[in-house]
């Protein structure tokens, strides 16, 4: 899919420089956790959500293109992915993610670019 999956959409309400850490993460079908980290790197923007007890404390990396809407007033980031899709996504920790680890980023890109919704 390329770069668009790693960019916030024009209608997402994302404002460059906005702090999203601590915001709630909402899949299209319910709450998934809290934003633990986010990046605004050009062509590689993403958020990391700590899922807490929902999937045993797992952290997931979600491309910025999945952000459908940011509700600043309620500190909520709405995503265009289901809980099941997020739960089945590649594991951040086992992927040994580091900022320069492009193979893991490519794995994430392929996973979300090839969803069958």
Is residue 31 packed enough to be buried (19+ CB in 10 Å), middle (13-18) or exposed (0-12)? middle
Query: Can you give the residue range of the structural domain that contains 66?
Result: 3-113
Number of domains forming the structure of the chain = 1
Note the pLDDT of residue 113.
Answer: 83
CATH code, domain carrying 18: 2.30.30.240
pTM for the model: 0.85
Beta strands in the chain (DSSP E): 24-27, 30-39, 46-50, 59-63, 67-71, 76-79
Half-sphere exposure of residue 33: CA atoms within 13 angstroms, side-chain side? 24
The backbone torsions φ and ψ at residue 16, rounded to the nearest 5 degrees and listed phi first, read -50, 135
- The per-residue pLDDT for range 72-115, each reduced to its tens digit, is 999 999 999 999 999 999 887 765 555 555 578 888 888 888 76
- pLDDT > 50? residue 2: no
């Amino acid at each position: 899919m390329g770069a668009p999956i790693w960019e916030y959409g024009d209608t997402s309400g994302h404002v460059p420089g906005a702090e999203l850490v601590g915001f709630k993460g909402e899949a299209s079908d319910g709450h998934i956790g809290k934003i633990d980290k986010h990046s605004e790197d050009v062509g590689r923007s993403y958020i990391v959500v700590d899922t807490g007890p929902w999937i045993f404390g797992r952290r997931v990396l979600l491309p910025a293109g999945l952000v459908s809407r940011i509700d600043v007033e309620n500190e909520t980031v709405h995503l265009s992915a289901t809980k099941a899709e997020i739960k089945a996504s590649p594991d951040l920790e086992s992927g040994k993610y580091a900022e320069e680890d492009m193979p893991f980023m490519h794995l994430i890109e392929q996973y979300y670019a090839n969803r069958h919704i």
